[in-house]
Structure 1
Amino acid sequence: MGRAAVPDIAGRLGMDVREVGARLAALSTTGLPLIVGVECDQQGIRNAVAAAQQWAAQNAPHPGAQYSGPHPMSGPHQVPGAQHLSGPHQVPGVSGPQHVSGPRQATHAMPHPQQPVAPQPPMSTWGPPGSAAWARGDQPAPVPAQAPATTGQVGTRLEVQGVSGERISIQLIEVVDPADFLYTAAGYELQPGERSVVVHTELTNHGQVPFPSLPDMYLELITKDGAPVGKAPVSMSSRPPHRMGVQPGETAGGHTVYVLPESTELAAVRWTAQPGDPQRTLLWDITDL
């Protein structure tokens, strides 16, 4: 391919973007003439950082808040880590042997605080869960509420918010099932017992932030048993695939190809912004096709 974005390569291969990036980075260290680079929207990065900083400032504790540790004790008490000594030993700065029996004792008194202050919960300095900031590693991530997926039929345009905050809508235009004649006309060959399906979708970016990924990165077919069918790593010149990224105010269309067992019964087409994200899931019913 010469020059390509990692998500584009992942889309062609039907693999996870992180795995493709890790493999390319590993290959670049073996002496191959391969450079793995990074390109980003500078203003978008600045906006994400500013939003995380604003959230941290709004959730900062009161300036007068105090944290209290273990309550101090007065009078003789056991010093943590004290060594048990018996018999004569030399104390630095004192002539002659000194005899100490039992654990060392601290005889100084420590003052009590006037009023104990209840400990405050630690502030999360990594931003809200689900945002561009990462979650704290010392606290379990909260489990988001399971919201029902937005549903529609073929031809319905459904709206959703992207991972970066972009407002987008996706329309399921057409489902060609079976699409064996398109598949073989593009030069591909189906194995006995297989069939192909072509799904045509359009993504419109209504926000001010570019949509950075392939519109059909996680577009799946759902069988009547609830099993997902991922897209095949092929494209057809007669049915152009999706391209990487959609700028604000633009609408981009493309076709996604699937290869599945001939006897599989399909129930829906599902789009998600990222795997395991029920908050950003769209579902189109295709049982009547």
Structure 2
Amino acid sequence: MAVTDPVDARLLAALAELGKAAVHELAAKVGMDPREVAYRLVALSGSGLPLLVGVESDPNGLRAALATARPAPPPPYPAQGMPSGAYTVPSAAYNVPSGRYPVQPPPPAPGRFAAAAPRPAVDPVISTWGPPQTASWARGDQRQAPSPVQRTGRIGDALAAQGLEGEQLTIQLLEVQDPADFLFGAAGYRLDAGERAVVVHTEITNRGTVPFVSLPDNYLELVTAEGTTIAKAPVSLTSRPPHKIGVQPGETAGGHTVYVLPEATRVTTLRWSPRPEPDERTLSWSLET
């Protein structure tokens, strides 16, 4: 079977290279949310691939956790509905033999996500960035933050967003460098003939009380004039640090996302979503002047 899901193909290639890795290490290598990596690995293992998904633990630590989480002794009279304790398990390890294995991608995870009521937006952090060179860029004090209901903007705009767990976020598109071939080459990478690199600089602010535990640019995609999407490349540039996983309440974090695409492709939009498929929480910025 041919690999039709590029995310699964990238994940399998990284696993084949590592052979054995913990889920959080593999997620960091491919730039994905550890929860999504675990889901995809379990689904791929069930499809018949030579892929073993396992869990490693500290037996003594688990026994101690079970002891502290054990419910209180029952009262002298009969009682019903005694709740069980909650237990934590260390991260899983995954063992994959080397090689390439074709796989049919798993179906998308079912579920419905309801958007919470919007909250008043706060002003974005005002900062100044370096010389724009060939990039389109904007300073934080040149534009005012839009209202929370706004889902579209342009370079420099900060848009209100909501995560899968109800996180209240503000995402600002600061800079788009297109092309960014010189940055790509300076980091030691090589573009094939007919390719170009694009670097996008975004900033995310957690305005709520719920921690945002995903990678901010996990589903940050370029949209072409033909309506096709371009996912981020699994590379990071030394001069443009990438996003890190997690944004705590009250924290603002920035990062750069790299894309590799055909040289003649016309990009019109940058799109952010908290999940693989666009929904009512999806944000978009127009990149056309």
* TM-score clears 0.5: yes
Task: Indicate how the Cα distance of structure 1 residues 276 and 186 shifts in structure 2: closer, same or farther if over 3 A, else same.
Answer: same
Q: CA deviation at 1:8?
A: 2.8
State the alpha-carbon separation in 1 of the partners of residues 256 and 223 from structure 2. Answer: 17
Q: Which residue of 2 aligns with 1:271?
A: 272
- Contact 2:222–2:229 (CA under 8 A) maintained in structure 1: yes
Q: Which residue of 1 aligns with 2:253?
A: 252
Task: Indicate how the Cα distance of structure 1 residues 241 and 153 shifts in structure 2: closer, same or farther if over 3 A, else same.
Answer: same
Q: 2:12 matched to 1:29?
A: no
Return the letter of the residue paired with 1:159. A
Q: CA deviation at 1:149?
A: 7.5
Q: CA deviation at 1:10?
A: 4.1
State the alpha-carbon separation in 2 of the partners of residues 229 and 257 from structure 1. Answer: 11
Task: Indicate how the Cα distance of structure 1 residues 130 and 177 shifts in structure 2: closer, same or farther if over 3 A, else same.
Answer: same
State the alpha-carbon separation in 2 of the partners of residues 10 and 21 from structure 1. Answer: 17
Q: CA deviation at 1:225?
A: 1.2
Q: Which residue of 1 aligns with 2:197?
A: 196
Query: Per-residue displacement from partner, 1:15-71 (whole Å, max 9, x unpaired)?
Result: x633246558987738xxx7578xxxxxxxxxxxxxxxxxxxxxxxxxxxxxxxxxx
State the alpha-carbon separation in 2 of the partners of residues 274 and 190 from structure 1. Answer: 29
State the alpha-carbon separation in 2 of the partners of residues 217 and 174 from structure 1. Answer: 18
- Could you tell me the TM-score, scaled by structure 1's length? 0.55
Pairwise CA RMSD? 3.0
Structure 1 unaligned residues grouped into runs of 5+: 38-127, 132-147
Q: Which residue of 1 aligns with 2:97?
A: none
Answer with 1 or 2: which has the greater Rg: 1
| Percent sequence identity over aligned pairs | 50
Secondary structure of 1:280's aligned partner: coil
Secondary structure of 2:183's aligned partner: helix
- Contact 1:167–1:207 (CA under 8 A) maintained in structure 2: yes
- Could you tell me the TM-score, scaled by structure 2's length? 0.55
Secondary structure of 1:279's aligned partner: coil
Which of the numbers 127, 130, 133 marks the counterpart of 2:113? 130
State the alpha-carbon separation in 2 of the partners of residues 254 and 173 from structure 1. Answer: 10
Q: CA deviation at 1:277?
A: 3.5
Query: Per-residue displacement from partner, 1:117-176 (whole Å, max 9, x unpaired)?
Result: xxxxxxxxxxx9426xxxxxxxxxxxxxxxx97100101000011110010010001000
Q: Which residue of 2 aligns with 1:221?
A: 222
Q: CA deviation at 1:224?
A: 1.0
Task: Indicate how the Cα distance of structure 1 residues 224 and 236 shifts in structure 2: closer, same or farther if over 3 A, else same.
Answer: same
Q: Which residue of 1 aligns with 2:176?
A: 175
State the alpha-carbon separation in 2 of the partners of residues 190 and 175 from structure 1. Answer: 19
State the alpha-carbon separation in 2 of the partners of residues 283 and 261 from structure 1. Answer: 22
Query: Per-residue displacement from partner, 1:213-259 (whole Å, max 9, x unpaired)?
Result: 00000000011111111100101111111111111110111100000
- Contact 2:32–2:215 (CA under 8 A) maintained in structure 1: no
Q: 2:156 matched to 1:155?
A: yes
Task: Indicate how the Cα distance of structure 1 residues 276 and 250 shifts in structure 2: closer, same or farther if over 3 A, else same.
Answer: same
1:72-151 aligned at under 5 Å gives the runs 129-130=112-113, 150-151=151-152
Q: Which residue of 1 aligns with 2:231?
A: 230
Return the letter of the residue paired with 2:153. G
Secondary structure of 2:280's aligned partner: helix
State the alpha-carbon separation in 2 of the partners of residues 213 and 266 from structure 1. Answer: 26
